[in-house]
Chains A and B, each alone.
Chain A
């Protein structure tokens, strides 16, 4: 079974502080994604990656950076956290099209910025 693990699962951060959300996948998938989910907005894409060393901006990248140092790991970095970044963050991985490109999600990371 495909596995995507996020850490931390819960985080309280102070405004202006740095937050790093980590994601690890054991699926050997090339593609990885960071989404945030807020009530009334569904899932919104922040950053994504096509493979190690690659990061691409999604629909709402402002205030976020991403890092993909290896096939397995994809991090989301908030250099200067703000209360508007309070949300639930989901990481996902997806394989190649010939394997059906199904997205597998982690359990989510709940971030509160105070």
Chain B
């Protein structure tokens, strides 16, 4: 089964609304990274997390290593938030990431 399972696989939102994306881990994740792949294909890092939370503007992410999950909250969604969000976890402190299959987010005006 998937070691890093993302949900939902796809999501469509109206501009200005809020959303929550989730990753569940079946591995002992030690760190988590969240990425956005925009519609042009570019991959951008959003967060690097050890257990705890981080916030950056309208984005907030949390990682709970004991309960084996991470979340990404988007507040007041904007059109430029559209794209595919990936989470990736490190398990063995070996600088390798195990990737989820992504959540495709569409923001509608």
Residues of chain A touching chain B, judged by Cβ–Cβ distance below 8 Å, are: 31, 42-45, 48, 50, 58, 88, 90, 92, 94, 97, 100-105, 107-108
Contact = CB atoms under 8 A, between A and B. Distances in A.
A104 B41 contact: no
B56 interface: no
Q: Which of A58, A100, A104, A107 has the most CB of B within 10 A?
A: A100
Contacts, number: 46
B102 to A, nearest CB: 6
Q: Which of A42, A48, A107 has the most CB of B within 10 A?
A: A42
Interface of B: 31, 33, 35, 41-45, 48, 86, 88, 90, 93, 95-97, 99-102
Nearest to A44: B99
In the complex, the 8 A-B pairs of residues with the closest C-beta atoms, listed nearest first: A105-B43, A102-B48, A100-B48, A42-B101, A43-B99, A102-B45, A31-B95, A42-B99
Contact of B42 (A44, A102, A107): A107
